[in-house]
Amino acid sequence: MPFINADFAFSLYRRLSVENPHWNVFSPVSISSVLAMLSFGSGSSTQTQILEVMGFNLTDTPVTELQQGFQHLICSLNFPKSELELQMGNAVFMGQQLKPLAMFLDDVKTVYETEVFSADFSNVSAAQQEINSCVEKQTKGKIVGLIQDLKLNAIMILVNYIHFKEESSNFSVDKSTTVQLPMMHQLEQYYHFVDAELNCTVLQMDYSENALALFVLPKEGHMEWMEAAMSTKTLKKWNHLLQKGWVELFVPKFSISATYDLGSTLQKMGMRDAFAESADFSRITEDNGLKLSYAFHKAVLHIGEEGTKEEATPEAGSLDQAEVASLHPVIRFNKTFLLMILEKRTKSILFLGKVVNPIKE
C-alpha cells in the first residue's frame, strides 16, 4: 500500500511542530521501523498501542505481515552508494541486570538489522558516552553526541538515526545577494503542480531510481493551513495531478539536523503502556520490570552539499533571464518550505521537515 506511513508522519510532524514551530526534520520511516521492532518484542495492550500510534490495525493487518513489510522496506533502503548516501540504523540499550531472549536478539538482527546492547545505567555519564560512541562508530562519525542529558534509573533506551546526503551535481550555484545563501539553479523538466486548495506549489525532484523529493512552497501566510491539511489523501492527490514541464528552479543548498527524545510525544499519541510499570515486553526478556525509558531519534539531511558546478548550465546560460522567465514558470524556494523525501517503490517517507533557515544547522 503506497504512503503507508504518511498519516503517522504528519501526525508526528504536527506534534513536533507545536514543541518547535520554527524548525524540525525527522525520518518517519526510520522511527516507524524502530517502533515496529519494539512491537515485535511486546504483547497485549503494549503492542496494540504501539501499532495503533503507527496507524496500523491488527484486525486488518496481522503482525507477521507487518514484520515482513518492514523487512522488505529496510532491505530496499540499502541504496547503492554511488547514487545516494543513506544510512539508517537502530540500537537498543538494556540495563545490564536484564537478560534478553536469544530468539529476540536473532530476530531483530535479521529483520531490523538492530543490535541489542547491555548498559550500566547506574553510571549515567559512562552509559551516555557508551551510547554516543556506538552511534558515532556505526555512522562513521556522521552523528556525534546524540544524547546529552541522560538521567538516572533508565531501564531500556531506543536509539534511532538516519543520515542522508544528496549532492545535486547537475545544478549551477549562485550566491544570492538577498539572503546570502548558495542557491542551486537549473532549467529542467520537473513534475510540478499548483494546489489551489492548499495555496501551495509542489515540485517533485527525482534523486535516483530509489528516492524522490517533494518540495512544497506555500503562499505567504499559508504554511500553518497547509501543515494542518497534510495527509495520505493529500499525497495521493499530488501524485495523481503532478505534470511534467519545463521549470526554472532555484533551490537552496542546505544541511539541517534535529535530535529528539520522542518519549513524551509518543505517550501523548497513545503509546502509554510501553513507558509504564505495566509494560509487556515478555518477548524481549523473561525478567520483570522492563519498560521503555527513552526513545532518541536524530536525523541529518544534506542537500547539494558538494559536487555542484560553479558555472551556469548550458541551458540556463544560453537564454536571457527575462526570456527564460517568460517562457517557463520560475519557482524559487527562497522562503520557508516543506520538504519530503520518499522511497519510490513504497512511497514511504524517509524525511519530513520544514526548512526555515537553510544556512543554520
Could you read off the pLDDT of 196-251 as tens digits, one per residue?
999 999 999 988 778 899 999 999 989 999 999 999 999 999 999 999 999 999 98
We report the CATH number of the domain holding residue 186 as 2.30.39.10
In a domain, 186, yes or no: yes
pLDDT on residue 60:
79
3-state SS of 186-203? Answer: EEEEEEEEEECCCCEEEE
Regarding whether 212 and 115 lie in a shared domain, the answer is: no
Residues 17 and 142 in one domain: yes
Q: Do 263 and 246 fall into the same domain?
A: no
Average pLDDT, the chain: 85
Please check the confidence at residue 142 and state whether its pLDDT lies above 80: yes
Residues 33 and 161 in one domain: yes
Q: Furthest-apart CA pair in the chain: how many Å? A: 72
> Are 248 and 285 within one domain?
no
- 162 and 176 inside one domain: no
pTM comes to: 0.86
Please indicate, yes or no, if residue 112 is contained in any of the structural domains.
yes
Please tell me which of 77-81, 165-169, 176-180 the model is most confident about, judged by mean pLDDT.
165-169
| Domain ranges, residue 281 | 6-166+255-302
Q: Could you tell me if 80 and 198 lie in one domain?
A: no
Residues 6+ apart with CB under 8 A from 125: none
pLDDT of 318 reads 41
In a domain, 307, yes or no: no
Q: List all residues 6 or more positions away from 331 whose beta carbon is below 8 Å from its beta carbon.
A: 192, 201, 203, 217, 247, 248, 249, 250
Least confident of 124-128, 206-210, 283-287, 354-358: 354-358
**Distance between CA atoms of 72 and 209, rounded to whole angstroms?**
17
Which residue in the block uniquely carries the three cell numbers 492527490?
Answer: 237
pLDDT at 28: 94
CATH of the domain at 37: 3.30.497.10
Q: Give the pLDDT confidence of 317-349 residue by residue, as tens digits.
A: 344 555 545 578 999 998 889 999 998 888 889
- The model's confidence at residue 77, banded by pLDDT at 50, 70 and 90, is confident
Residue 12 has pLDDT above 60, yes or no: yes
Task: Report helix, strand or coil for 216.
Answer: strand
Residue 88 is assigned to a structural domain of this protein = yes
DSSP E strands in the chain: the ranges are 24-26, 85-95, 115-119, 156-166, 172-176, 181-195, 200-206, 211-218, 243-252, 254-261, 294-303, 330-332, 337-343, 349-355
User: Are 147 and 183 within one domain?
Assistant: no
Cα–Cα distance, 32 to 349 (Å, whole number): 10
- Whether residue 191 lies inside any domain: the answer is yes
231 and 281, same domain (yes or no): no
> Quick one: pLDDT at residue 314?
35
53-62 pLDDT per residue, tens: 998 877 777 8
What does the pLDDT read at residue 80? 59
pLDDT at 352 over 50: yes
pLDDT at 177: 42
Count of domains observed in the chain: 2
Q: Are residues 223 and 98 in the same domain?
A: no
Q: How confident is the model at residue 312, as a pLDDT?
A: 35
